[in-house]
Amino acid sequence: MTPLGIIAGGGPLPGQVAEAALAAGRPVFIAGIAHYAEPEVLRPFPHKFYRLGAIGAMMRAFREQGCTELVMIGPVKRPSFLSLRPDAEGARLLARIGKAAFLGDDGLLAAIVRVLSEEGFRILGAHEILADALAPAGALTRATPDAQALADISRGIEVLKITGAADIGQACVVQQGLVLALETVEGTDAMLSRIAAVRRPGPAPVLVKLAKPGQERRADLPTIGPDTVSHALKTGLAGMAFEAGATILIAKAQLIEMADNGNLFLIGVSV
Q: For the domain that residue 52 is a member of, what is the CATH number?
A: 3.40.50.20
The pLDDT of residue 99 is: 66
Task: Tell which residue, 113, 133, 134, 135, has the closest CA to residue 123.
Answer: 113
Element (H, E) at 90: helix 88-97
The pLDDT of residue 235 is: 94
Task: Indicate whether 191 and 157 sit together in one domain.
Answer: yes
Task: Indicate whether 157 and 116 sit together in one domain.
Answer: no
Examine the fold and report which residue of 71, 102, 129 is the final residue of a domain before the chain moves on: 129
Domain span at residue 265? 134-269
Return the amino acid letter for 200: R
Task: Indicate whether 216 and 147 sit together in one domain.
Answer: yes
The pLDDT of residue 141 is: 97
Element (H, E) at 153: helix 147-165
Strands lying side by side in the sheet with 206-209: 138-139, 265-269, 239-243, 206-209, 171-175, 178-182
Q: What is the CATH number of the domain that holds 200?
A: 3.40.140.80
Task: Indicate whether 148 and 262 sit together in one domain.
Answer: yes
Task: Indicate whether 106 and 186 sit together in one domain.
Answer: no
Task: Indicate whether 125 and 70 sit together in one domain.
Answer: yes
> Which stretches of the chain score pLDDT less than 70?
78-84, 98-109
Examine the fold and report which residue of 78, 106, 129 is the final residue of a domain before the chain moves on: 129
The pLDDT of residue 205 is: 98
Task: Indicate whether 140 and 237 sit together in one domain.
Answer: yes
Task: Indicate whether 49 and 174 sit together in one domain.
Answer: no
CA distance 206 to 180: 10
Residue 172 makes CB contacts below 8 A (sequence gap 6+) with 156, 159, 160, 163, 179, 180, 181, 182, 183, 207, 208
Task: Indicate whether 246 and 183 sit together in one domain.
Answer: yes
pTM: 0.82
Task: Indicate whether 125 and 138 sit together in one domain.
Answer: no
The pLDDT of residue 167 is: 80
- The total domain count for the chain is 2
Task: Indicate whether 249 and 235 sit together in one domain.
Answer: yes
Examine the fold and report which residue of 103, 129, 155 is the final residue of a domain before the chain moves on: 129
Task: Indicate whether 73 and 170 sit together in one domain.
Answer: no
Helix (H, G, I), strand (E, B) or coil at 201: coil
Residue 96 makes CB contacts below 8 A (sequence gap 6+) with 115, 118
